Amino acid sequence: MELTLGIDGGGTQTRAVLVDSSGAIVGRARAGSGNFQAVGLQGVEALVDELMTRLGVEAAKGSGPPLVSACLALAGAGRTSEQEEVANRLLDNQLANHIYVVSDARAALEGAHAGAEGIVVIAGTGSMVLGKNAAGAEVRAGGWGPTLGDEGSGYWLVLQAIRSVLRQLDGWGPPTALKGELGPALELEDWHQVVAGVYGGRLDRRRIAAAAPCVFASARQGDEEALRIVREGARSLGCQAGAVAFHLGMTDVVDVAGAGGLFEQADLFWGALEEGMLTRVGQVCRRAPILSPVMGALILAHRGAGREWSPDWIASLAEADAEEA
């Protein structure tokens, strides 16, 4: 039986899906972090071994690799050199005849539009925008990390909110309810503790980003500073998406999907995001992701095996996603 494997390696959890030559799902598995920067090459090897064991797939001695094709979409593996390093090691280990290593954002894009052209805006702890046109050309924007970018991400939103609170405390910023919302979420008994928390490392990137719901809560209550921050972040992401669309030659009607935790607050996010996009494109067609990132990785592996897919297959993958949710 010819098997194809898709893996989505996130920062905290990795998902894997295995299909046979007909496209039917024959196995699913979960494991720990797949972030290449966190676990390294040996960690990725161990992760793949664990997933293969959980999927019940073993190489038969002397019969060659157990998989026809595999795609690993790994967080922290956005550079060609890193992707080649992982792919070469897994080829040496005879995991599959064909191995593709891409960024987790690439799988999110592929899944969001089920292999078709479009743009995905990713906004979670970090943020970035990735797009693909009908010719298969890809362009990205953002994704420069918390120090250099990540506009509109959870971390960025909370950091702007903290700055607003500090300006209010110093007496030169507008009043905001963010002080009362954020303090408990960041476990601050006194706002002067924020300095030691941030610079001492207790309030790291993930801890700060986790307080993003407080910013949205304040915005929903009509706090002007919170609304400004949310709109500014969303509009920045929209400008990035508009730039991606422009460079891909997609300036008429553009399909855009949102991925990541912040899109759970889509009603507050989309208006300003579209406003940013419309500086470069004629019309924005807002879409929910069709498939999850792990299914996006599976599509890339399926394509690498030279297989076509039908609307019925995509529908069956979407059904499997719904069952897994």
* Model pLDDT, residue 72: 96
Region of 271 (left: φ > 0; alpha: ψ -120 to 50; beta: rest) is alpha
Tokens for 197, please give them: 């928390």
**Residue 34 pLDDT exceeds 70:** yes
H helices present in 56-191, as ranges: 80-92, 104-112, 145-148, 154-170, 178-185
Give dist(CA 89, CA 300) in Å, integer: 19
Helices 293-304/104-112 angle, 10° precision: 90
**Residue 254 pLDDT exceeds 80:** yes
Q: Are 98 and 69 in contact (CB under 8 A)?
A: yes
The distance between the two most distant Cα atoms of the chain, rounded to a whole number of Å, is 74
Q: Are 18 and 27 in contact (CB under 8 A)?
A: yes
Residue among 123, 126, 140, 156 nearest 248 (CA)? 140
Average pLDDT over residues 17-44: 90
Q: Are 104 and 9 in contact (CB under 8 A)?
A: yes
Confidence of residue 4 (pLDDT cuts 50, 70, 90): very high
pLDDT, one tens digit per residue, over 68-112 is: 999 999 988 888 999 999 999 999 998 999 999 999 999 999 999
Torsion of Cα atoms, 11 then 261 then 112 then 300, to 10°: 0
Determine how β-strand 118-123 pairs with β-strand 96-103.
unpaired
Give dist(CA 228, CA 235) in Å, integer: 10
* Model pLDDT, residue 282: 92
* Model pLDDT, residue 61: 46
* Model pLDDT, residue 66: 83
Confidence of residue 12 (pLDDT cuts 50, 70, 90): confident
* Model pLDDT, residue 149: 86
Region of 280 (left: φ > 0; alpha: ψ -120 to 50; beta: rest) is alpha
Give dist(CA 138, CA 80) in Å, integer: 14
Distance of CA 47 to the CA centre of its chain: 19
* % pLDDT > 70, the chain: 98
* Model pLDDT, residue 123: 93
Distance of CA 9 to the CA centre of its chain: 10
pLDDT, one tens digit per residue, over 134-185 is: 999 999 999 888 889 899 999 999 999 999 999 999 999 999 999 999 999 9
* Model pLDDT, residue 8: 94
Give dist(CA 286, CA 168) in Å, integer: 36
* Model pLDDT, residue 82: 92
Map out the domains of the chain with their CATH numbers.
3-114+290-324 (3.30.420.40), 142-287 (3.30.420.40)
What is the rounded average pLDDT for all residues in the chain? 91
* Model pLDDT, residue 324: 78
> b vs e for 53-62, b when ≥16 Cβ sit within 10 Å of the residue's Cβ?
eebebeeeee
* Model pLDDT, residue 146: 87
Q: How far is CA 13 from CA 31, 283, 314, in A?
A: 6, 36, 24
This prediction has a pTM of 0.89
* % pLDDT > 90, the chain: 74
**Residue 206 pLDDT exceeds 80:** yes
**Residue 62 pLDDT exceeds 50:** no
Average pLDDT over residues 1-9: 89
Query: Could you tell me which residues come within 8 angstroms of residue 47 by beta carbon, excluding any fewer than 6 positions away?
Result: 9, 14, 31, 32, 33, 34, 39
pLDDT, one tens digit per residue, over 267-325 is: 998 999 999 999 999 999 999 999 999 999 999 998 888 887 888 999 999 998 888 76
In the three-class reduction of DSSP (H, G, I as helix; E, B as strand; rest coil), residue 309 is classed as: coil
Q: How far is CA 165 from CA 173, 179, 189, 211, 288, in A?
A: 8, 6, 14, 14, 34
Residue among 2, 80, 88 nearest 44 (CA)? 88
Query: Could you tell me which residues come within 8 angstroms of residue 266 by beta carbon, excluding any fewer than 6 positions away?
Result: 258
Average pLDDT over residues 52-69: 76
* Model pLDDT, residue 63: 57
